[in-house]
Copies of this chain bind each other. A is one copy, B any other.
Amino acid sequence: MNAILRRKQHKAELRTQILEAAREIFVRDGYESFSMRKLAQRIEYSPGSIYLHFKNKEELFESLVEESFDRLLRALNRLKNGHPQQDPAATLKKGLRAYVDFGLRNPSDYRFAFLLRRPLHRRPYKVHPAFDVLRYMVGRCVEEKHFRTVDIETTSQALWAAIHGITSLLIQRPTFPWVARRKLIDQVINNAIDGLMVRTDQEEETRAGVQHVQLSHL
């Protein structure tokens, strides 16, 4: 019994080890240069052993994608649950920033989740829970009248597009002469959100954001 347990644990550990090593190689060498052999050598097991944990290269890759999606989801959920009382629009902005930051801090995860091209897999699309978090946040903004009465789905998708755009570009084109990251990200997010807000005078006055500073003295 003890033995069985130990065995199960070992198996789980090895699986994790494989995934970690695979991720590193995928990111370091690029998808094209990844090979099951290299992976086996890295973890110091035989090539065959990998097949005891993953059916084939494809499944291994998919596991990494899933793992990365989960981490992104968890990061967003932490955000959502962390500040339940707050102004939902502020929370949303924080959420969007958190999304971008997650991508930039975990480019490997972001690549797996959105950028690496999978060999065309035609399985029926399931909207990922991560997107639900976004939709939920937008929904609250509308419900609590911080946003104009916009279409929640369209807005969510548009917001996603914007933050995906900046995240992926910063990751994939690191040599482009970008302006300061913070400033750029803020501008993208503020631009995307501000137009959606219900404008009240006081809000207008207290709006913060680098690119609006000059506005105050118009």
Contact = CB atoms under 8 A, between A and B. Distances in A.
8 contacts: A114-B172, A148-B211, A154-B187, A161-B166, A191-B196, A192-B192, A195-B211, A199-B218
Given A161-B169, A177-B125, A191-B192, A119 B154 contact: no
Contact of A190 (B153, B163, B178, B195): B195
Secondary structure type dominating chain A contacts: helix
A183 interface: yes
Interface stretch (A14-22, A28-36, A39-47, A82-90): A28-36
Residue from A116, A169, A187, A214 having most chain B Cβ neighbours under 10 A: A187
Interface of A: 28-33, 114-117, 119-120, 122, 124-125, 127, 148-151, 153-155, 157-158, 160-166, 168-169, 172-173, 175-179, 183-184, 187-188, 190-192, 194-196, 199, 211, 214-215, 218
Contacts of A119: 29-30, 32-33
Contacts of A122: 175
A183 B161 contact: no
